[in-house]
Chain A
Amino acid sequence: MRAKKAAAVVLAGVMSCTAISGGISVSAEEAFGEKDPASYEADLTMMVHTTDQPNFMIEKFNEVYPNIHIELVVVPAGEQQEKIMNMVAAGDDVPDLFTSRTQFVKAIVNSDQYYADLNSEPYNATDWTSAIEPYVVGVGTDTTGALRALSWQCPVGGIYYRRSLAKEYFGTDDPAAMSEKFASFDSILETARELREKSGGEVKFDGDALTGLMYLGITNAGGYMKGNVLNTGDEVRELFEVAKTMYDEDLTGKFYNDGQSSVAAKGEGKIFADEKPTWGLTNDILINLPEQAGDWGLASGPYPYTAGGTWIGISQTTEHPEEAYLFLKFILTNEEFVYDYAVNFGDYVSNMNVQQKVASLPAEEAEKLNIFTFLGGQNAYEYWNGELAKGVNPEAFSPYDEFFGKYLLAAMEAYAVGNLSLDEAIAQYQSECQNYAPSIELE
């Protein structure tokens, strides 16, 4: 009897210890989303730079979690990084959730001051992040392996082109044939020259070759930075040379920093192609040129690439980690919502299950997505899935992309218009970047 009592005491002790030590994580895991959704109550704030998509997310989220209220704090895109850093430094009014554009997300993610680590306590998000596109996870992961931010979108790129112009000047509007014509920078130049000859110089290959080339080439070049060294290698120099040729031979519209004129020229049928990622279709071409629905196609460029996108994470200082986490998880993994979002916005989502689902939609269902009809029935998801399968390198992103991209474009333009020689333009680019970030090294 005494032995039984002793055993019972030991067993009780062991159980208590288990409950105390492991119980925190068990109860936390249970607490995070295990309760009745209506029982969660909180007022959250979320800093964003645009409202359409977040409002849609909140509306859908509230259909499941009606008592978690999320107030948007809208900050202009260009001021977002400064705002986040200052707010966290001051420790005042830091929102529970905040977004970071890809141009500076690494600056936020690589610091342990801003976003909480989603892989550790109390979040333990490891069980569902495998559903998210790996490069998106890679960008949101810091140098120590902590996952701090994720994106609901996956902005891979391509080259959009006018089908009617393709038929007129090249005899085909087939995306596969166009992809061959865009297979390298040399073939792009050849295509642009052919277009110039056949159109008598009326139709330019693109509106803004500088930005287009930067999109097409910088991911493949390994990004603006290689480790702590500014990348001015051969691939980057090639962008300068191609831009110069495009300008010298009058192959491009030269509408750098003049988006309105570029749109007007597209409207007049004077621009053949537009090198842009996913959002370029929904936020630019489709919105500005609705009358050209059905007359655009999408083909691969020389390299798979990605540009832009918005990441989101949870503030380290949030007082509502569970509710913030539920929102984050909802917009990324609730497949019903993600599908609705994809259909409504035409955005390419980061959830791989939904990527496959949309890519394999039967034709009558696919018509629900206006991006498909805009692209003349082409399944953009199928194309984007194909580009992602070629591989996008998450290492191609640096904390300085916002400004280094601007400096690169300014230097490319200075060379293209003849204000500077190639070496002078590269030197200017290096000088600007080092002035912005004195700790970087130059090649």
Chain B
Amino acid sequence: MTRKKVNFGILFVTPFLLGLLVFRLLPFLYTFVISFTNWNLMMGEKSFTGLDNYKRLLSDKNFYIALRNTVKIWAMNIVPRLGIALLCAVLFAQCRLRGKSFFKMVFYFPNLVNSATVAVLAAMIMGWQSGVVNRFLMQIGILEEPVYWLGQASSAQGIVAFVTWWMWFGYSAIMFTTGILNVPASYIEAAIVDGANAWQRFWRITFPLIRPTIAYVFLTTLIGGLQNFEIPRVITDGLGAPDKSLLTMVMQMHTIAFKSMQYGYGSAFAMGIFVVTAVFAAFSYRMINKKEE
């Protein structure tokens, strides 16, 4: 590569690198630094406290509750999300269906709607005394009394998982469709000549070849899932009720740092989220690569 080309390359990536430095790396480093202070805007304190915030984090029940909830909600939506997205992708890519484009658009549409709007809508639909679901179920005689769906831990988590799935499975389906369409047609044709049926063609050829796409979607879903915030935040007004079952890690960090103004501890909490996310991502990446090997 000529020096001129290299210079051009550097020129082109400079805006991105600057953005990364200013908006990602520096804030990250600053967060790390202030995590060693007791900076509290409400109390007017700001002094170096060493590892105190991290000791507090490790003994903070809410951190573990939020971690458990976040992983649970993510796990509840990841399986149906990837499964149904993959099914849709296969149908879109390999079957002759009328109105494919329409369905792709419809499935992707929830992803374009603001999360907060979706959360408000979900809260209204699942409302206790006058929610649409309760009214419908009572009208057709399934329920005698309205059920407080958002007032019980398991159903509340299920609703958030469902809403997250509904918002994002269309995006995953589009990604998988692209992956399947990139599988060389000659491989499939050769398999047909060899007498492979549709099921064998999918599991022996298509699935292994789209594994990088699946890995990418899985990892981005994992990272996004561990940063779950808007939907439970709006549904519970930042409280994580009922019984803290919708308290997620980022929501708790947001309350500590930006509502009670404990910037020092909030930063330590953010670093805790970073470590958890990094560990989960590294573990998942390793598992996926191991299978590829």
Interface residues of A (CB under 8 A from B): 82, 85-86, 89, 107, 111, 113, 253-255, 257-258, 260-261, 264-265, 399, 403, 406-407, 410, 413-414, 417, 419-420, 428, 431-432, 435-439
Contacts and interface: CB of A to CB of B under 8 A. Distances in A.
Given A261-B127, A261-B130, A431-B61, 12 more contacts: A82-B258, A82-B259, A86-B41, A403-B255, A403-B259, A403-B260, A435-B60, A435-B256, A436-B255, A437-B42, A438-B262, A439-B43
B139 to A, nearest CB: 17
B213 interface: no
B158 interface: no
Nearest to A402: B259
B239 A406 contact: yes
Which 4 pairs between the two chains have the least Cβ-Cβ distance? A261-B130, A436-B260, A410-B241, A85-B41
A74 B62 CA distance: 34
B237 interface: yes
Given A407-B239, A436-B259, A438-B262, A417 B151 contact: yes
A363 B220 CA distance: 68
B261 interface: yes
Nearest to A425: B243
Interface string B154-173: 00000000000000000000
Interface of B: 41-44, 60-62, 124, 127-130, 148, 151-153, 237-239, 241-244, 255-256, 258-262, 265
Nearest to B241: A410
A258 B151 contact: no
A113 B265 CA distance: 22
Contact of A254 (B41, B128, B241): B128
Contacts of B44: 111, 113
Contacts of B239: 406-407, 410, 432
Contact of A253 (B124, B127, B129): B129
Contacts, number: 69
Given A82-B259, A417-B148, A258 B127 contact: yes
Contacts of A428: 243-244
Nearest to B62: A435
Contacts of A258: 127-130
Contact of B261 (A85, A406, A407): A85
Contact of B41 (A89, A265, A420, A431): A89
The winner among B152, B244, B260 for most chain A CB atoms within 10 A is: B260
A255 B148 CA distance: 11
A182 B92 CA distance: 65
B230 to A, nearest CB: 14
Contacts of B261: 82, 85
Given A85-B261, A89-B41, A414-B241, A419 B127 contact: no
B231 to A, nearest CB: 15
Given A85-B41, A438-B262, A414 B243 contact: yes
Contacts of A107: 42
A404 to B, nearest CB: 11
Contact of B237 (A86, A257, A417): A257
A406 B237 contact: yes
A324 B52 CA distance: 43
19 contacts: A82-B259, A82-B261, A86-B41, A111-B44, A254-B128, A257-B237, A260-B124, A261-B129, A264-B130, A406-B238, A406-B239, A413-B241, A414-B242, A419-B153, A431-B61, A435-B62, A436-B260, A437-B260, A438-B265
Nearest to B127: A258
Contacts of A431: 61
Nearest to A111: B44
Contacts of A419: 151-153, 242-243
Nearest to A79: B258
A350 B67 CA distance: 48
B205 to A, nearest CB: 51
A436 B260 CA distance: 6
A256 to B, nearest CB: 9
A413 B128 contact: no
A255 B127 CA distance: 9
Contacts of A435: 60, 62, 256, 260
Contacts of A82: 258-259, 261
A255 B131 CA distance: 11
A254 B261 CA distance: 33
